[in-house]
Amino acid sequence: MILPEDIQQLAERFRATGLLGKPGMLSRLFDYLLERSIAGTPPKEIEIAIDVFGKDESFAVAQDSTVRVYVHKLRRKLEEFHAQAGRDDVARLVLPKGEYRIVIEGVDAPAAKITDQPTPPRVEQRSRFRVRSALAAAAGCFLLLCAGLLGFNLRPGAPASELDTVRGNPVWAKLLDDDRPIVVVVGDYYIFGETDPRSGAVKRMVREFSINSARELEEQLQSDPRLNGRYEDLELAYLPTSTAFAMRDVLTTLAAPGQPQHRVQVVLASELTTDMLRTAHVIYIGYISGMRQLQELAFQHSRLSVGASFDELIDKRTGQRYVSQAGQLPEAGTMYRDYGFFASFPGPTGNRFVIIAGTRDVAVMETAQALTRAWPLAELARSTQGESFEALYEVAGLNRSNLSGRLLFSAALGSTERHPSNTPAATESNFFLADLNDDRSH
């Protein structure tokens, strides 16, 4: 007999791994399906769309794949949970294909296998689900944003064995095994104002890729007298929202036992100095368009080049163009492609450079996750050798969420050899189309 306590305890272990990522739609979906499954009232797709995703009664399940996409991703996370190294549970949480309920399989084993956590409180009534989820998401996002920037370890309950595996990978071990300072560089963007010629008031804020500081703005004004009085320095800059979530993953990895907190310093790309480039390990996190001088270092021996816009990467060997669809303002509820770039190479004095970048937000977040999780790192290690290498990831995005990514290729920097990935993770049907068809039975 399956007891509510059994499925709840196994669910708590799943949550504690951090596989659900930042508080958001995926964790809300899991909580909702768990609650309805325990109650014995598995929902229909339209109910999930309304209760979890805030859709209204006019939601067209045949035309909008939002629910099926997230159900697919949740199913994959449950499979990853039970496939983690060292996991020997007989009882498994399963989200059967074509169904919207969570069940336990293999429950003939003694209950002691899933009772190493205190029994959590009973799930609250459905009428309180939305309030509870909204409060949890708001509080969780606030903590992640703050703790990510302060360097606290907030990957919830990440197993020590997985973190040890990640830290032991050459990507990170080469940074952690000495006492050099580590500088985490985040790509920031200089913003200036365009003024109304009659009133002098600022009418809009401007981001111009060729102007990255107040000094450069002043030089631009001096070189073109027609712009005098039109632009104004507002002493403003911004960071992409993906930076905070990517930093959470990276800083958790860097917080290895015995590492002094002061060893890691966070700076803006606009504040990166030549001395830092020479003496410290440097980790860049952010958009490709925000890399500044690091862009030349990362791409000088790369098989990729930045296209006419920062939303485009070009394979110099094949001519293949990888264009992010995120900049095309995709409609809500529609999936789009984004591209993440990773590189690791030595610096001038034996220091290391690690680049975690993307054309847009979902690519930055997915690339950071891929480089701080054991199995994607293992996949990368199987296809790379040497001191200098790079990788390109294709990422599936939906709204502002990164759903999944696949390794398109990895190669030694300066190499023309292509290493397509043939692992199940990479050959998984294009953006879940196969499983989405399975889920359309509802």
**DSSP string over 66-90:** HHHHHHHHHHHHHHHHHHSTT---S
Residues 23-44 as b/e (b if ≥16 CB within 10 A, e otherwise) read bbbbbbbbbbbbbbbbeeebbe
Residue 251: is its pLDDT beyond 70?
Answer: yes
Pick the more confident residue, 236 or 139: 236
Same domain (yes/no): 215, 272: no
Contact 184, 265 (CB under 8 A): yes
Looking at the chain, the whole-number percentage of residues with pLDDT higher than 90 is: 26
Q: Which residue, 140, 174, 200, sits at the end of a domain?
A: 140
Domain count, the chain: 3
Distance CA 227, CA 104 (A): 67
Instruction: Give domain status of residue 354, yes or no.
Output: yes
Query: For the ranges 20-29, 76-85, 238-247, 259-268, which has the lowest average pLDDT?
Result: 76-85
Residue 434: is its pLDDT beyond 70?
Answer: no
Distance CA 407, CA 427 (A): 9
Residue 112: is its pLDDT beyond 70?
Answer: no
Looking at the chain, the whole-number percentage of residues with pLDDT higher than 70 is: 77
Same domain (yes/no): 352, 281: yes
Q: How would you write 131-175 as a 3-class SS string? A: HHHHHHHHHHHHHHHHHHHHCCCCCCCCCHHHHHHHHHCHHHHHH
Same domain (yes/no): 365, 225: no
Residue 5: is its pLDDT beyond 50?
Answer: yes
Same domain (yes/no): 206, 261: no
Same domain (yes/no): 280, 393: yes
CA 343, 354, 339, 69 dihedral sign is positive
CA dihedral 361, 367, 370, 372 (to 10 degrees): -90
Residues 333-352: what's their mean pLDDT? Answer: 91
Task: For residue 334, give both structure tokens.
Answer: 């529609």
Q: 306 lies in which domain range?
A: 160-187+240-439
Same domain (yes/no): 39, 106: yes
Instruction: Give domain status of residue 351, yes or no.
Output: yes
Pick the more confident residue, 426 or 318: 318
Please report which confidence band the pLDDT of residue 7 belongs to, taking 50, 70 and 90 as the band edges.
confident
Same domain (yes/no): 269, 380: yes
Overall pTM > 0.85: no
Same domain (yes/no): 215, 275: no
Residues 236-246: what's their mean pLDDT? Answer: 88
Instruction: Give domain status of residue 155, yes or no.
Output: no
Instruction: Give domain status of residue 147, yes or no.
Output: no
Residue 160: is its pLDDT beyond 90?
Answer: no
CA angle, 134 as apex, 132 and 135 as ends, to 5°?
65
Residue 384: is its pLDDT beyond 60?
Answer: yes
Residue 386: is its pLDDT beyond 50?
Answer: yes
Task: For residue 133, give both structure tokens.
Answer: 């989820």
Alpha carbon separation from 365 to 7, 57, 70, 171, 187 (Å, rounded): 30, 32, 17, 18, 14
- Structure confidence at residue 133 (pLDDT): 38
Q: 232 pairs with which residues across the strands?
A: 193
Instruction: Give domain status of residue 136, yes or no.
Output: yes
